[in-house]
Amino acid sequence: MIESTTNELDPPTERPKTRVAVVGCGYWGPNLIRNFNALPNARVAAVCDLQDDRLEHMRGLYPGVKTYTDYGKMLAVEDLDAVVIATPVHTHHPLAKEALLAGKHTLIEKPMASSVAECEELNAIADRENLTLMVGHTFLYSEPIHRITEIISHGDIGEVRYINSQRLNLGLFQQDINVTWDLAPHDLSIILHVMGEMPDCVNCQGNAHVTAGIEDVTNISLNFGDKRFASVQSSWLEPRKVRLMTFVGSRRTIVFDDLEPREKIRIYDVHVDRPPHYDSFAQFHYSYHYGDLYIPHLDQQEPLRVLCDHFLDCIAKGNRPLSCGRKGLELVRILEACSQSLQGRGAPVDLPNGTHADNGTLRRRVERAMVGP
Ligand SMILES: NC(=O)c1ccc[n+]([C@@H]2O[C@H](COP(=O)([O-])OP(=O)(O)OC[C@H]3O[C@@H](n4cnc5c(N)ncnc54)[C@H](O)[C@@H]3O)[C@@H](O)[C@H]2O)c1
């Protein structure tokens, strides 16, 4: 179970089943339906899609589930506690707004909405109505990211110098969003979570080769100050699928390859130091440290199941989710800045001073860990 960001976790208690409806039964929605259906404390009461054939498929898999093409009717007729939205991004805001105004706890797939203004409105309604609002930043619920965050926060790789992330494959081309809005939310959610703070400045370059106006390859740079930065490369044009993140620290480096079936994280005890006193000759004698390679054992759990369970737990206990609406908003703020930078041919876009830290920024957490308690 994932720790939520506010209260301490209470021991698990018997609780009534949360009645959930899932909207959108395309590629991703069925994964959410399968996971909620498998959890003992949830019941998938209804599903909704505009396409009858998708609903028929769901009825085949889950006989007895109520199906709707009319979302408003489903909200009015069914006795629901929560709504889960897995539809195209431009529909997230209107569907989530309707759900929240109908008093339903709401889980929205990433990215939360199409603009910062939309996210702000959804957060305001959820706060006013005292409802759980969560965003599907799936990787935050994965064992590799949990372990990487732990290792970095304990100071085991030293200061993070930079993070490099690549998410590349062929397609699936989206109609309403570019590759940054489609793929980069995964990398960005991990980077923000690990760094524990918002970047000061973002810039993004890219091109639309296949569909006019919809970039299919982009490179994002995020500047966190003090020479720390992150870069994210996203593409729908590469023949080989790549899911690779490198966290380069002052003492060690972590490589996370999500396509590796078991050994997803490798920690390299490798770094380079500058000699303490150097002159024009000694500068050629940098000290290279080659140590061991460590591959930690990771529990195999489906991250989406952990995410769904966390949503139910936050509803039951009134806790703020790890990927709450505020985190969804911060991520969309970065995506918006990327779009602005793309329009300005990669010009840097400054971001307002944000507060993303759960336990203080990474820098403070690492300093504390390296000094000791
Ligand atoms: N967390 C993850 O790892 C992950 C992975 C893939 C997709 N996603 C997200 O899931 C969402 C859906 O993506 P997808 O790939 O499944 O898209 P998709 O196009 O395959 O499916 C979307 C479905 O929503 C339905 N739909 C559209 N508008 C609707 C409406 N107003 N009411 C009811 N149904 C409607 C469509 O008919 C379609 O069946 C997106 O936000 C995407 O970013 C998340």
CA–centroid distance, residue 228 to ligand 1 (Å): 35
Does the pLDDT value for residue 4 go beyond 80?
Answer: no
Say what the pLDDT of residue 41 is. 96
Is 69:49 a contact under the CB 8 Å cutoff? yes
Mean pLDDT of 328-348: 97
Does the pLDDT value for residue 365 go beyond 70?
Answer: no
pLDDT in tens, 73-132: 999 999 999 999 999 999 999 999 999 999 999 999 999 999 999 999 999 999 999 999
Say what the pLDDT of residue 9 is. 44
pLDDT in tens, 160-219: 999 999 999 998 888 889 999 999 999 999 999 999 999 999 999 999 999 999 999 999
Give the atom of ligand 1 at the shortest distance from the alpha carbon of 71.
Answer: 32
Q: What type of residue is 330?
A: E
Say what the pLDDT of residue 282 is. 52
Give the atom of ligand 1 at the shortest distance from the alpha carbon of 54.
Answer: 39
Give the atom of ligand 1 at the shortest distance from the alpha carbon of 172.
Answer: 15
CA–centroid distance, residue 235 to ligand 1 (Å): 19
Dist. CA 139–CA 191, nearest whole Å: 11
Say what the pLDDT of residue 290 is. 85
pLDDT in tens, 142-163: 999 999 999 999 999 999 999 9
Dist. CA 314–CA 332, nearest whole Å: 22
Say what the pLDDT of residue 16 is. 83
Dist. CA 150–CA 329, nearest whole Å: 24
Pick the range with the lowest mean pLDDT from 246-260, 297-311, 341-355.
341-355
Say what the pLDDT of residue 373 is. 40
Owner of token pair 């009717």: 73
Q: What type of residue is 278?
A: Y
Q: What type of residue is 39?
A: L
The residues lining ligand 1, judged by C-beta closer than 6 Å to any ligand atom, are 23-29, 48-51, 54, 71, 86-89, 91, 109-110, 136, 138
Q: 273 forms bridges with which residues in the sheet?
A: 287
Ordered structural domains, the chain, with CATH? 18-137+308-322 (3.40.50.720), 140-303+332-371 (3.30.360.10)
Give the atom of ligand 1 at the shortest distance from the alpha carbon of 185.
Answer: 43
Q: Identify the band that residue 283 occupies on the pLDDT scale cut at 50, 70 and 90.
A: low
Helix axis angle, 92-101 relative to 116-129, nearest 10°?
10
CA–centroid distance, residue 261 to ligand 1 (Å): 26
Q: Identify the band that residue 288 occupies on the pLDDT scale cut at 50, 70 and 90.
A: confident
Is residue 121 classed as helix, strand or coil in its secondary structure?
A: helix
- Name the closest-CA residue to atom 2, ligand 1: 138
Dist. CA 113–CA 119, nearest whole Å: 6
Longest dimension (CA), the chain: 80
CA distances to 36, 64, 193, 260, 324 from 32, rounded to whole Å, are: 6, 17, 23, 23, 18
Say what the pLDDT of residue 286 is. 75
Say what the pLDDT of residue 351 is. 95
Does the pLDDT value for residue 2 go beyond 50?
Answer: yes
> Higher model confidence: residue 64 or residue 255?
255
Dist. CA 320–CA 112, nearest whole Å: 16
CA–centroid distance, residue 290 to ligand 1 (Å): 46
Does the pLDDT value for residue 8 go beyond 50?
Answer: no
Mean pLDDT of 225-237: 95
Average pLDDT, rounded, for the chain: 91
Dist. CA 43–CA 65, nearest whole Å: 10
Q: Identify the band that residue 6 occupies on the pLDDT scale cut at 50, 70 and 90.
A: very low
